[in-house]
Amino acid sequence: MRAIIQRVSSASVTVNSEVISSIGEGLMVLVGLGTDDTQDDIETIANKILNLKAFPDPKSGGAWKASVKDRGGEILSVSQFTLFAKIVKNKPDFHKAMAAESSKSMYATFLERMGALYDPSKIKDGQFGAMMSVGIVNEGPVTFTLDSRETVSTPGTSTPTASATSSGSQGKTLAQRNAEKALRRSAWEAGKKSGEPSLPGAQDEIQRGSPEDKE
């Protein structure tokens, strides 16, 4: 199961020139279901979405401190089977996407689970299978990519494999990334003492920190 999550100040879905769903501050979520997805995948993605610290703290203003639940925000979800497309000779192949009938049922289960874990009135939907026009105002912009088979922590926590991380860290575990960061820190400190150049970008990364450090 895959999801594209965007932090928005507003979002809406229009079908046949009529706005059928809209939200204010919250998350716009595009959801794709694969052929072998199960209830476990739903549980993982639902918890990740609801607990992802995509917002600043409402009191301190600190970045990456609050989830959509913490902010009392809304979620607009739209089914997006193209997230499982495989590009073959410049043409999309959708064989890995779940069939429409099964996908519709499982997607409905996903929405129900989101409501049960949060507040049903805060969960909005598009129109399954329809040609939709989706409008968003992405704040940041801030966009994350989730895959239930690639997340690095258990349901209920908020450390996804996300587009906000550097491409070099994609697919690595949190422990691996922390170990690499420790090595870069040691190299930078050694270079500082000896007067020799440290690894490129080491000082910047140490000062900036990673998304995990800022939670």
- Residues forming the active site: 82
Do 127 and 78 meet the contact criterion of CB atoms below 8 Å apart?
Answer: no
Q: Which of 175, 179, 60, 43 has the alpha carbon at shortest distance from 116? A: 43
Question: Long-range CB contacts (< 8 A, 24+ apart) of 146-153?
Answer: 146/2, 146/3, 146/4, 146/5, 146/45, 146/48, 146/49, 147/1, 147/2, 148/1, 148/2, 148/37, 148/40, 148/41, 148/44, 148/45, 149/41, 151/44, 151/48
